Amino acid sequence: MKKNWLWYGLLAMTQLMSATQLYAQSQNQGHSPAPSSEPFEAKKTSALDALIEEYEGAVQEFDSLWSAKPTATSLGDASNDRVLAAAALDQEYLNRLDELEITSVSLQDQITADIFRRQLDKRAGEIPHRGHYLPLNGWWDYHATFAELPTRTRFRSLKDMEEYLDKLRDWPQYSRQYIDRLEKGRQEGWVRPRIVFDKYLPTISSHVVDTPEESRFFEQVSGFPDKAPEELKRRVSEEALLDFRNQVFALVRDSVLTGFSELVRYLEETYIPSSSPEPGIGSLEGGEAYYQWLIGYYTTLELTADEIHQIGLREVTEIRSAMMEIVREEGYGEDFDAYVNHLRTDPQYYAETPEELMEKTALVLKRMDGELPKLFKTLPRQPYGIKPIPDYLAPQTTTAYYSGGNLDTEAGFYALNTYDLPSRPLYEVESLSLHEAVPGHHLQIALHKELHESSDWPAVRTRASFTAYTEGWALYSERLGEEVGFYRSPSSRFGRLSYDMWRALRLVVDTGLHTKGWTRKEAIDFMASNSALSLRNIENEVDRYIFWPGQALGYKLGEIEIRNLRQKAETELGADFDVREFHEVVLGSGNIPLNMLQKLVEEWITERAERE
């Protein structure tokens, strides 16, 4: 592979300069860090492919270089120096991408280049806004990911055992790297808001237990050697298994508990006392500019915060009108609050046990499985299952989430929150399940994994993931249930509208909090007065928006874009419109930015019209 001299220079300079200097130098190349949603103007395929190939090689060399540094751990390297050096590398290739000659018109090449640009800008563009000083956002943060290590680990060999020990041993060092970045931000007044930490701290402190026997990190091996997996017993001696158990016990006591205790102590004694009293990031110096960057990153659209706020208000008005039709139909006249109170308090709408909630969810999904061929030409081969959210996460997390699993050896899983059943109404089960499993997240993500297997796309494309596409598709999928016989009861129709309203409210509340000075109470009250969501869900959601600015905007904006593209296709193609073909186009090029999705659908409309 041909290596660029600038990359050699980068490698050499990492030995001589601080990473901060490196990043500053890369910024002098003349590239603006703001994310761009302008289409890639047909640049030469061979040059693009060569640049991407070179970048992949450069990343491998970069990773190899940093894996030998003292900051490297078996869990990764989250040090500030490495973050800045990685951003410098991406900035260099971003500059070079801008310099490519314009000679090709392939739409797929345009998509590849646009995705490459956005991936490079994720690290390079965030540094000027100091996003790396805010590594906590309340959603699968590094400590929560580490806490899943016992669940993700399968002990099948001595190598698995050694890797588990290494990760337990390295946990304190890895956590300190995040604490160091938090501290750098704190010293500059660049901090998360104080109001979110009351609920957040228990997700960490719950792992600070009195003895290793109480820790989830020891639970899986507590019965070794007798209760070790049979496959492991055949490969590892009983003496080695007993020794492994004892080593895990010691590392949980001396390493795992130490790392979690240090993080809790730092947050309680240092970070939280300095945290922002205001919920919106716009209240911090540089916060409004960072929020505008986040809008571009999460939505892949060129919209201002005020434009999004107004879109949200219009959607809220439209959805509220549809909800009121059901309120009147159910005999409540114009009393929206009375009907919502009925839904929130009548026992008929709530499961009595976690098992009942899981069973009703399973029935909904099995019904949808049978309807999928009416909507899709291609279905994934990977199965999916449902499971409850772990107890230690359930009180602080949202209603549900999806995890993809390994295409060849694992199912995808829809994780459902069965904690506090009075806040999990049954009239939301259809919308929630279609969103998280099929035809939502599982169908889309599993299909794309299979697509990546059979395509010759570069890695920068196959690993792409855009919130506005992923979540926009999942929200659009909720509405698809109407086309195949779901939402038959007034309460379930109201539940779907309430979920639609939930995402529309996000546009108003997120921008209100971060650019218009809204308080947490104002956000909660606005959501509560316009939806049937339980108050617990509303409070958790508002705290999420406060903690993770901009991310929630992609859901509704993505759904609006997909819906608008479908309406355009239906209008222009008339009787020739085929929903299965439309979905084939929307899903057929992987996870892509919305501006590129628009180009794909418009190209398909033109080709389809010409065939007829």
Pairing of strands 412-416, 400-403: antiparallel
DSSP string, 73-94: BTTB---HHHHHHHHHHHHHHH
> Mind listing the pLDDT tens digit for each residue in 522-581?
999 999 888 877 788 889 899 999 999 999 999 999 999 999 999 999 999 999 999 999
Q: Return the half-sphere exposure (C-beta side, CA atoms, 13 A cut-off) of residue 553.
A: 35
Is there a contact between 278 and 195 (Cβ–Cβ < 8 Å)?
Answer: no
Where are the chain's structural domains? 5-129, 142-277, 292-553, 559-611
> Mind listing the pLDDT tens digit for each residue in 467-477?
999 999 999 99
* Average pLDDT, 10 consecutive residues per value, the chain (612 residues): 37 40 47 38 66 95 95 97 97 93 73 94 95 92 95 94 98 98 98 94 95 97 96 96 98 98 98 97 97 97 97 97 97 95 94 97 98 98 95 83 88 95 94 97 96 87 93 97 97 94 96 98 94 82 95 96 98 97 97 96 94 74
Q: CA-to-CA distance for 14 and 307, rounded, in angstroms?
A: 43
The percentage of the chain sitting over the pLDDT mark of 70, rounded to a whole number, equals 92
Q: CA-to-CA distance for 211 and 4, rounded, in angstroms?
A: 54
Q: CA-to-CA distance for 170 and 36, rounded, in angstroms?
A: 38
Where do runs of H (alpha helix) occur along 283-428?
287-299, 305-329, 336-345, 354-375
Q: Which amino acid is at 484?
A: V
CA dihedral angle for residue 395, residue 209, residue 252, residue 218, rounded to 10 degrees: -60
Is there a contact between 137 and 552 (Cβ–Cβ < 8 Å)?
Answer: no
> Mind listing the pLDDT tens digit for each residue in 168-193?
999 999 999 999 999 999 999 999 99
For residue 532, the SS3 value is coil
- Within 10 angstroms of residue 57's Cβ, the number of other Cβ atoms is 15
Q: Closest Cα partner for 435 from 495, 346, 349? A: 495
